[in-house]
Structure 1
Amino acid sequence: MFNLNPKVCIENVRNDVLSPFMYLKHANKCLSSPSHKSIGREYVIRALDEFDKFESQSQLLKNLVRKAGLYPYLIKFFSSTKAPDIELLLQLYQSEISPDFVFHSMQAKIYNLLISGKNVVLSAPTSMGKSAIVDSLIASNRFNRLVVVVPTIALIDETRRRIQKNFGRKFQVIHHGSQERRKDRTIYVLTQERVNEREDLQNIDLFVVDEFYKLAFSHEDKSRAISLNIALSKLLSVSKQFYMIGPYIDAMRGMDALQKEYVFVPSDFNTVALNVNEYNIKPNDVASKNSQLKKILETYKGQTIIYCRSQKSIDQVVTSMDYICFDKPSREIKNYYRWLKRFYGSNWCYSRALKLGIGVHHGALPRALQQKTVDLFNKNKIKYLVCTSTLIEGVNTVAENVVIYDNRRANASIDDFTHKNIAGRAGRMNQHLIGNVFCLESLPSREFQSNVVELPLGHQNVETPLNLLAGIQSEHLTDMSRESLSQFDMSSKVPLDLIRKHASYNVLSIESAYSFITELSIEDMKLLSKKKTPDSYNLELLVQFIKILEAGALQKLSLHFEDNDELKNRMAWYIYAESHTDYIRERLKYIYSHREGVQRVSEGTDWEFKIARNIFKHSIPRALMLLQDLLNYQFDQLDIKVVTDFGYLVHIFENSHLPTAFSALEEMGIAIETLEKLVTERVSSSSIETLSRYIRMYYKKSERLHAIDRMFIRLAL
């Protein structure tokens, strides 16, 4: 029986216990067995990583690379690719992107299925190169209108940059709600919420759903899964073809009920190999975890991601890494650190980390800082990146090593599926053939678990949330669901159209919110509707309403208590602030003068950013839009000629006091502090495209901009 452990075998080759020929013989046997093919590929990948050891057997190794379907590695490792058979092979697997880009066998299989008109659901490891297939489909010129659905705004921007760079001359790339379609050839890059908001999604040739496993309900907030199912329903009704991408799962249930034929491809095709190291340290034994982390970083010198459960854990890890020191920080990093210190203070975890040569990435960071961190890491300007799951979920990084410091996500344990997803960030095709994964705590249970994605859209039953049923297309409703909606429409005081329009809220929350409206006096309703900016009494009413609807989001930040004025005060300070930066500056001034100790100052700073990102930009605008519709509905019911319009307030919170196009540039990675210097009456109503062109033309000449402002603009545009 041949050895099934490539890691042990390559070690034996290294120690001259096993000959290179016998090693490759093991590889060939595995590649010849359907059940051991992925192990055979790992043999080949590990041999390529030790190429010098196999020089005498290079022809045999080349043949095995070919047998494994790892065609890109033929170009990288073998100069003799001009042989007629190899040259023909490379031409056959050449991508539309560029003559230099060659598919591996699984990429080619998926691409050919899609080009033939098939719908495809691909479930494959992180390193498989799924995005290259999307780019090749665009380059094929067979699709005029495409929609790419991604789970986060960070991924919108990463995808937008890649597509804009490669295809911006042929296609209009739409990524923000304020953009109007101008070209027939259009690529939409949107989150599910933005898909649901757009009214111009028609005659779509192909839509792509990235991280499709998020369609299933999880233990987290269901609202995003509901939004994604509604988006899927909408896209299925207007599109000719679909391609769904996600990490490795066993099956997807529910698509059959939607009467769409598709090919499900579960693939374990690996382009890198992983060395997984386990330490079994107890979760709360912080001293042992920090000690082991230090040993790992002293031994493994490559680019390293350190996964943590939360911002608090990140801060603790960064504090423990004070033994790290920058070799020679560049002028760019020195200037960046000075900028951070000026705007956010030296005690903040992000600032302290950068000073040591460590990047920090989590969900509450300003987007410009998130993107700068990834840029510095991918360009090897910093070696260490300490992050939460926001980086793990799709953002492309080039890391040789991944340390899983915590086996949790916030307070919940991560399962084997999520653990593999995090580990999959180690290694990168054509860059790091071997990825090293270090699990400080015990691994999640490896008992047989079937990773099946249950699609709520295709599994409608008595427990299916009514807001999901209200939001999906009529053609996707079952008879039972139609009956449920009909019964609700007859029994509820809230019209179904309002439920449909605000489907991210569950029905009970909307009904509670409507009850709040009906209990107000007509005078109070009119007061709420008339003023552009609220006085203290109006603000009290607004806060009461927001606390009914957004209790979950507010609870995470301890802003949900009925007898607490924190939310009211912050809303007032923000509304009447001159700018977003002025608000943040005042809050940080208060934190630095009232909190003692580096850690507490840093926690306070992160807390303010969480409020700004999660509550100001998301929860408050969402609640105000529902309040506006409920008030107008109630006025209509009472035959009162008053129209509520919270547009100004929504704009302030949603766009951080900036004009709409400027707010879109903040998503693209230009710091708010930089954008505030660029706002003038002349350009404030410009489109994103016009504003981007204007800034690209003049930013180098502007005397108001400093080196770091120009750095953010250069990186974004």
Structure 2
Amino acid sequence: MNYARVRSALAGQDFDGIEPFDLLRAIANHVNDKEAAQDGRDLVIRALARSDAFDEFEMQVLTSLVRAVGLYPYMSEALRFAQDDDRLAYELHRPDGMDEVFHSLQAKVYYQLRTGSNVVLSASTSVGKSLLIDAMIALGRFKKIVIVVPTLALIDETRKRLVRRFRDGVHVITHPTQTADLKTTNVYVLTQERVRQRIDLSNVDFFVIDEFYKLDLRHETDKRRAIELNLAFHQLAGTKAQFYLLGPNIHAIKGLDRYEIHFIPSEYSTVAVDVVNFDLPTRGDERDQKLVELCRELDTATLIYCQAPGSAARVAATLMREVAKEDIPDCAEHADWIDENFHSEWVVAKAMRRGIGLHHGGIPRALQQHMVRLFNEGVITRLICTSTLIEGVNTAAENVIVYDRRRNKNVLDFFTYKNIQGRAGRMGRYFIGKVYMLEKAPADEETVVEYPVGEQDQETPLSLIMQLEDQDLTDISRSRVAAALKDSFLSEDTIRLNGSVEPETQNLIARALYDAMAERPDLYTWRGFPKKHQLVAVAQLIMDFLSGAAMQNLGVTSASQLHWHLSRLSQDGGLRAYLADVAKGVLPHQDISSKIDEALKIARNIVSFSFPQDLMVIHNIQLEVAAMLDVQAGDYTVYAEAANHLFLPATVAALDEYGVPLQIAGKISSRLEPHIVLDAVISKLRGLEVDEVGELTDFERRWIRTVQETL
């Protein structure tokens, strides 16, 4: 029997009349054919999904086939059927110091890493690449380990995993205010920006770059973050530490010639995936009709991918109108809390009431984590998401519906599509994942990741190569740097200090500042918190020269608007009062939910991220310009730090990353004082007797108890 016939029989009622043993024999033929090994493994997984249909002898055969394709973790449920040699092979795939058993690809990478090799692994989401990180920590060889992840959501997920596994055996550092514990192993879990901020990473033993494809500037829309990741890798690799790069669906990597690496691209998978392509048009009602049809049929965990928060809101509205028409009692208290702390008209609150979760970049981190937890626990079975969930956050989904063929405004490339597809199925829970592509699927193409530091040419951003040492530059880059500095208005030190901004842009800002400060130095020489006219002046420079275009896409179109958001968030009442004021200002023709979404994105992506970065760029430039003009320089560091933490104590704002919403953090803040050292605050949170906090509701007490279990 060929692959298609066996697959069809495994999906059919009573195996389409084929005897179970005959099916297993056909599967064995595929497993033993080296050219059909991938098909063989796929069929073994599909047979495991039907294991209830096999008798004891047939299960012995299937267990041997599981071993033959290297899926040792799946043998744990069938060890009672296994022969002695199968049991021995199973135990030999258990890494030192851990209870889990590796599958064959994990074992291959593990032993490569144990020899001290640098490994670059490309494999699907379901493979369990992160378990290898834990195995390397469990060896006890390394005292200082750095794990670089692309998002704060992945910081939290990684932290929780390490705390669960190692508890007090390692010290996990995720925040800039935390320091190393010299008595134990320190594991830093950081974004690239946080790597660059730290001064204690010169003696790293082992480091990991998760989602390493983001090194490639050609494919990343956020060039500043990609440059920071490249510099973080360059910095860590410069310590001579062993490294492990991991990501999905990469066929080749260029630019790492200076390092001895073992590149392991693999199509190994621990789940089978069925893909259904509908090829529906982008415009019209057909996609919505098919979405509704699918959601009426599917009653297990389903992710629905949308291109952006606006699309996610529209999908939620469609499902509430056509599918989820009744309130879900188990979701009522979750929806009530969102109502009270954000807004009752916010689509996230309305959807939650109907058992639908949303996950996108505008939703605060603690609430994102709560949505994923409810989804993985089965409280909600539908989770509408954007790429913020696709990039590494672990979910237990049987089905994935790809509603949009885009990511933001760009057409979805094959790489991202495969990444989304990899979210369907879950080892040990859903043997077979199902992907429903509503629009036409992207064309198949190979993905080559290019590390630009090792592939320098005329297109390599100056803001990247100017951060490198002279010995790391090519002749072309060296001449480009010299040319950029030759006629620079600013000194080389300032240009390099503002590494992620192109020299030409920095010089434009400097000349604008020089002219303005020569006439009115008070506009830019403020310290601490600025007055309104001073903040507007700096905001105008940001709008004109730095993140203005990105801010306009998020709804901030002028310096005065940027000032309003900053000013309102810095006043009493915090996020809750800010959102209430945003809602009051909604015009009759505007949608309140959309404005709440917009405001949350402004708070997260602008006020606490891009604005502080941009403000420090201008700070560094005005320091030099003030010296040129012989006037006292300003100091923006206090205000930049305050905005970065949404004008809360840094340790209180950090609790959002640990799963405590800012609204709840505010209620327990006084019991966690002094707000100086984050580790001390976390320790107090861990021991907090929530029943004694009268300001909390019963729901909020349960929320904090759930967080305490992860600390």
- With normalisation by structure 2, the TM-score equals 0.94
For 1:258-657, what aligned pairs fall within 5 Å after superposition?
259-285=258-284, 287-322=285-320, 323-324=323-324, 329-330=329-330, 333-446=331-444, 449-522=445-518, 524-547=520-543, 548-561=545-558, 565-577=560-572, 579-591=574-586, 594-595=587-588, 600-640=591-631, 642-657=632-647
Partner of 2:696: 705
Q: Deviations for 1:333-354, whole angstroms, at most 9, x for unmatched residues?
A: 3222212111222211100110
Partner of 1:125: 124
Return the alpha-carbon distance in structure 2 between the equivalents of residues 713 and 26 of structure 1: 53
Q: Deviations for 1:409-443, whole angstroms, at most 9, x for unmatched residues?
A: 11211122211110110100111001111111111
Q: Deviations for 1:316-368, whole angstroms, at most 9, x for unmatched residues?
A: 111111221568533xx322221211122221110011010000000011111
Return the alpha-carbon distance in structure 1 between the equivalents of residues 140 and 245 of structure 2: 20
Specify whether residues 65 and 510 from structure 1 end up closer, same or farther in structure 2 by C-alpha distance, changes over 3 A only: same
Q: CA deviation at 1:690?
A: 0.6
Of 311-320 and 357-366, more deviation after overlay is shown by 311-320
Return the alpha-carbon distance in structure 1 between the equivalents of residues 664 and 290 of structure 2: 41
Q: Deviations for 1:198-254, whole angstroms, at most 9, x for unmatched residues?
A: 110022111000001111121512111111111110010114200000002111011
Q: CA deviation at 1:682?
A: 7.7
- AA paired with 2:676? S
For the pair 1:30 / 2:20, whether they are aligned, the reply is no
Specify whether residues 117 and 567 from structure 1 end up closer, same or farther in structure 2 by C-alpha distance, changes over 3 A only: same
Partner of 2:677: 687
Q: What is the identity percentage for the equivalent residue pairs of Structure 1 and Structure 2?
A: 35
Q: Deviations for 1:271-307, whole angstroms, at most 9, x for unmatched residues?
A: 100111111111112x322222222222221111011
2:329 alignment partner, SS class: coil
What is the RMSD computed on CA atoms of the aligned residues?
2.1
Equivalent of residue 659 in structure 2, options 652, 669, 677: 669
Alignment check: 8 A CA contact 2:374 2:380 kept: yes
Q: Deviations for 1:53-111, whole angstroms, at most 9, x for unmatched residues?
A: 33252222121111100111111234234x43223212210133533x11001100000
Return the alpha-carbon distance in structure 1 between the equivalents of residues 84 and 566 of structure 2: 70
Alignment check: 8 A CA contact 2:9 2:16 kept: no
Instruction: Give unmatched runs, 5+ long, in structure 1.
Output: none
Alignment check: 8 A CA contact 1:661 1:685 kept: yes
Partner of 1:104: 103
Return the alpha-carbon distance in structure 2 between the equivalents of residues 580 and 411 of structure 1: 29
Return the alpha-carbon distance in structure 2 between the equivalents of residues 472 and 584 of structure 1: 43
Specify whether residues 128 and 540 from structure 1 end up closer, same or farther in structure 2 by C-alpha distance, changes over 3 A only: same
Partner of 2:185: 185
1:471 alignment partner, SS class: coil
- AA paired with 2:556? L
Q: Deviations for 1:585-630, whole angstroms, at most 9, x for unmatched residues?
A: 2222333xx3457xx1111111111111111011211111112111
Partner of 1:46: 46
Return the alpha-carbon distance in structure 1 between the equivalents of residues 92 and 53 of structure 2: 30
Return the alpha-carbon distance in structure 1 between the equivalents of residues 246 and 106 of structure 2: 12
Alignment check: 8 A CA contact 1:2 1:29 kept: no
Alignment check: 8 A CA contact 1:671 1:712 kept: no
Of 270-279 and 163-172, more deviation after overlay is shown by 163-172
Q: CA deviation at 1:531?
A: 4.7
Alignment check: 8 A CA contact 2:672 2:684 kept: no
- AA paired with 1:435? G
Specify whether residues 565 and 527 from structure 1 end up closer, same or farther in structure 2 by C-alpha distance, changes over 3 A only: closer
Return the alpha-carbon distance in structure 2 between the equivalents of residues 667 and 3 of structure 1: 46
Q: CA deviation at 1:444?
A: 1.2
- AA paired with 1:242? F
Of 90-99 and 658-667, more deviation after overlay is shown by 90-99
- AA paired with 1:46? R
Of 155-164 and 690-699, more deviation after overlay is shown by 690-699
Alignment check: 8 A CA contact 2:399 2:433 kept: yes
Return the alpha-carbon distance in structure 2 between the equivalents of residues 58 and 247 of structure 1: 32
- With normalisation by structure 1, the TM-score equals 0.94
- AA paired with 1:234? Q
Alignment check: 8 A CA contact 1:171 1:185 kept: yes
Return the alpha-carbon distance in structure 2 between the equivalents of residues 495 and 385 of structure 1: 51
Return the alpha-carbon distance in structure 2 between the equivalents of residues 327 and 570 of structure 1: 34
Q: CA deviation at 1:12?
A: 5.6
Specify whether residues 171 and 78 from structure 1 end up closer, same or farther in structure 2 by C-alpha distance, changes over 3 A only: closer
How many residues are paired up? Answer: 701
For 1:228-239, what aligned pairs fall within 5 Å after superposition?
228-239=229-240
Q: Deviations for 1:184-205, whole angstroms, at most 9, x for unmatched residues?
A: 5210000111111111002211
Return the alpha-carbon distance in structure 2 between the equivalents of residues 54 and 574 of structure 1: 62
Partner of 2:250: 249
Q: Deviations for 1:465-522, whole angstroms, at most 9, x for unmatched residues?
A: 1110122355432233233223322221222332332222223322222122111134
Return the alpha-carbon distance in structure 2 between the equivalents of residues 468 and 97 of structure 1: 41
Alignment check: 8 A CA contact 2:498 2:620 kept: no
- AA paired with 2:688? Y
Partner of 2:18: 18
Return the alpha-carbon distance in structure 1 between the equivalents of residues 223 and 682 of structure 2: 36
Specify whether residues 508 and 487 from structure 1 end up closer, same or farther in structure 2 by C-alpha distance, changes over 3 A only: closer
Alignment check: 8 A CA contact 1:360 1:386 kept: yes
Return the alpha-carbon distance in structure 2 between the equivalents of residues 327 and 674 of structure 1: 25
Specify whether residues 62 and 15 from structure 1 end up closer, same or farther in structure 2 by C-alpha distance, changes over 3 A only: closer
Return the alpha-carbon distance in structure 2 between the equivalents of residues 618 and 513 of structure 1: 20
Alignment check: 8 A CA contact 1:358 1:386 kept: yes
Return the alpha-carbon distance in structure 1 between the equivalents of residues 8 and 672 of structure 2: 67
Of 533-542 and 9-18, more deviation after overlay is shown by 9-18
Of 465-474 and 63-72, more deviation after overlay is shown by 465-474
Alignment check: 8 A CA contact 2:517 2:523 kept: no
Instruction: Give unmatched runs, 5+ long, in structure 2.
Output: none
- AA paired with 1:535? K
Q: CA deviation at 1:112?
A: 0.5
Return the alpha-carbon distance in structure 1 between the equivalents of residues 641 and 317 of structure 2: 38
1:121 alignment partner, SS class: strand
- AA paired with 1:445? A
Return the alpha-carbon distance in structure 2 between the equivalents of residues 493 and 348 of structure 1: 49
Partner of 1:206: 206
Return the alpha-carbon distance in structure 2 between the equivalents of residues 125 and 80 of structure 1: 29
Alignment check: 8 A CA contact 2:569 2:646 kept: no
Q: CA deviation at 1:580?
A: 3.4
